[in-house]
Amino acid sequence: MKGSRYDLRRHSALQKSDPSYRATREKILSSAMQAFEEVGFTEITIDEIAKRCDLDRSSIYYYFESKQEIIGSLMESYYNRIISITERIINNNYDINKSFSILLTDLIYSYGNHYPIKYICTHELISHVLSQNSRWKKKIIKLNERFEKLLETLIEDGLNTRDLRSKARAQVLIAMIVGLSNWGDEIIASNSGAPASETAAVVADILLNGLRGRDPHNDEYAM
C-alpha cells in the first residue's frame, strides 16, 4: 500500500519534527515491540500492529514504510544507545574497571530492555528479518560494525596498558562480550524478582573479576 503519496507525507512530517507525529511513531514502535514478543516478527501483520495502536492500516504507512522499517527503527535505537555509551566511556578516560562495569552492565540491561528486537536479529538471523537489499539491513550492519570497532578500541587500550589480562586477541574478547550480551534476556529472567540493572551489574563483575573466590587475608585470588 505504500507509494509516493505516503513517502512524501512521511518525509515531510519527519523533516518538520512535529511532536505529535513523533509521539505517534513512538507509540507504534512500542506496540510493535510488544507484538513481536507475543506473536513473533514473521507472524505479526501491519493490520495487527495498527489495531494495537487504534489506527487503521493505511495510517501506519504515514509513519512507517513497512514492517521492516519498524524493526529497523527499533534496532537503530538499540545500537545508537550502546554506541553513545561506549563513546562516552572512551572520551571520559575512565579506568578499566569502571569502563567495563558501565559497558557490560548497560549491554546486558539494554538487551533485556530491548527484547525481543535484538533477540530477533541475533537468533532468527538478520537475513531472515531484513531482506537482502534492504537499506535497513545495510544500516544495521554498519551500526554493528561501528559498535564493535569502538569495543575493540576499548579492549586494545586495556591490553596495551595491561589493565586487562588476557592471552586472547581483542577479537576473541569482543566475541565473548557480544555473545554474553546476546543472552541478556535469559540472564535477567534467571534472577527473577531482582532489578534488571542489579543482575546486569553482578554479571559484569563476574566477567571482570572471575568466579574464583578471594583470600580475605591478602586480597588475592584464592588458589
> Which of 205, 198, 23 has its CA nearest to residue 104?
205
Lowest mean pLDDT among 55-69, 98-112, 151-165: 98-112
The predicted pLDDT at position 50 comes to 94
pLDDT over 50 (residue 130): yes
SS3 letters across the chain: CCCHHHHHHHHHHHHHCCHHHHHHHHHHHHHHHHHHHHHCCCCCCHHHHHHHCCCCHHHHCCCCCCHHHHHHHHHHHHHHHHHHHHHHHHHHCCCHHHHHHHHHHHHHHHHHHCCCHHHHHHHCCHHHHCCCCCHHHHHHHHHHHHHHHHHHHHHHHHHHCCCCCCCCCHHHHHHHHHHHHCCHHHHHHHCCCCCHHHHHHHHHHHHHHCCCCECCCCCCECC
pLDDT over 60 (residue 218): no
Q: pLDDT class for 214, splitting at 50, 70, 90?
A: low
Share of the chain above pLDDT 70, in %: 78
| Rounded Cα distance, 192 and 4, in Å | 48
Of the options 3.90.190.20, 1.25.40.10, 1.10.10.60, 3.80.30.10, the CATH number for the domain spanning 4-60 = 1.10.10.60
Which residues are within 8 A (CB) of 10 and not within 5 positions of it... i.e. 6 or more apart? 61, 62, 63, 64, 65
pLDDT digits over 65-87, tens only? 888 888 888 888 888 988 999 99
Average pLDDT over residues 191-205: 80
Average pLDDT over residues 112-134: 60
> Which of 38, 107, 27 has its CA nearest to residue 64?
27
Q: pLDDT class for 222, splitting at 50, 70, 90?
A: very low
pLDDT digits over 9-52, tens only? 776 777 677 788 889 999 999 899 888 888 888 888 999 999 99
* Fold (CATH) for 67-209: Tetracycline Repressor; domain 2 (1.10.357)
pTM of the predicted protein model: 0.77
Sketch the domain layout of the chain as residue ranges. 4-60, 67-209
